[in-house]
Copies of this chain bind each other. A is one copy, B any other.
Amino acid sequence: MIWCIEDDNNIREIEVYTLNNTGFTAEGFCDGKSLWAALEKEIPELILLDIMLPDDDGIEILKRLKEDDRTCNIPVIMATAKGEEYDKIRGLDLGADDYLAKPFGMMEMVSRVKAVLRRYKPDEERESIIRFENLCLNIKEHRVYIEDIPVDFTHKEFEILRLFLNNRGRVFSREKLFYLVWGEDYIGESRTVDMHIKTLRKKLGKYGDYIKTVRSVGYRMEKQK
């Protein structure tokens, strides 16, 4: 989620529109007040912040963002109104992650956003979360979030789920599944898999229904409903 703080309606709308059409989710705010209100509920991934704003100006907003532990890690791109201000603002070094001098093209904006996000989120972190709708398997935390609520999974459950999520739509025979989760040299009953599937389905709640039984073949996790 990317937030654009910009008082000019035209500019803000085109920013939001462009971002929403480039694979991001964006939302616009016209002033500091609405930004602070929204921050109570959600923390965006990145903020695109105009310097000239009606109430707090952008610099004050940036300052406040950087002061609060909850918000100080949100990357910020500052947009300056005039070319002249550019160097001055940069010189101040208020902790913005990048700067855009107006007027800027939308493609430039997008590539700056991408660059900042790339810098911010190390690959390993992005790759360590597997998502499926609102089901998140966080490998670093070794934890599953179901509708944002953390749920503890045992190691085996976790591994089976990981296998399913990494191979959505694919059927796994009990043998194959055993081989992949338990390891090549493990010998056990194929009924054991049924057992784990059962607990997995239970813990997954509504997402449990996505694990389908493929009669006389094995199990599959559906790609979609």
Question: Which A residues fall within an 8 A CB radius of B?
Answer: 59, 63, 66, 69, 92-95, 111-112, 114-115, 118-119, 131, 140-143, 154-155, 169-171, 214-218, 220
Contact of A141 among B59, B93, B141, B171 (CB under 8 A): B171
- Interface of chain A: mostly helix, strand, loop or mixed: mixed
Closest 8 CB pairs of A and B: A142-B171, A155-B216, A92-B115, A140-B170, A141-B169, A142-B217, A142-B214, A141-B170
> Cβ of A66: which chain B residues have Cβ within 8 Å of it?
118
Q: Please, which residue of chain B has its CB at the minimum distance from the CB of A169?
A: B141
Could you say how many copies of this chain the assembly holds?
A: 2
Give bound CA distance, A216 to B66, whole Å: 39
- The answer to whether B215 and A154 have CB atoms under 8 Å apart is yes
Residue in B59, B142, B155, B220 whose beta carbon sits within 8 Å of that of A142 in the complex: B220
Most B CB within 10 A of own CB, among A69, A94, A142, A170: A142
| Residues of chain B within 8 A of A111, CB atoms compared | 59, 92
Checking B155, B214, B218, B220 against A217 with a beta-carbon cut-off of 8 angstroms, the contacting residue is: B155
- Interchain CA distance A169-B141 in the complex, whole Å: 6
- Tell me which residues across on chain B come within 8 A of A155, comparing CB atoms: 215-217
- A165 CA to B22 CA in the complex, in Å? 36
- Extra contacts, 12 of them, besides A93-B115, A141-B170 (Cβ < 8 A), are A63-B118, A92-B111, A92-B112, A92-B115, A94-B118, A140-B169, A141-B220, A142-B220, A143-B171, A154-B215, A154-B216, A155-B216
Q: Please name the residue on chain B nearest to A116 by beta carbon.
A: B93
List the B residue with the shortest CB-CB distance to A142: B171
Q: Can you report 28 residue pairs joining A to B where beta carbons are below 8 Å apart? A: A63-B118, A66-B118, A92-B111, A92-B112, A92-B115, A93-B115, A93-B119, A94-B115, A94-B118, A95-B118, A140-B170, A140-B171, A141-B169, A141-B170, A141-B171, A141-B220, A142-B171, A142-B214, A142-B217, A142-B218, A143-B169, A143-B171, A143-B220, A154-B215, A154-B216, A155-B215, A155-B216, A155-B217
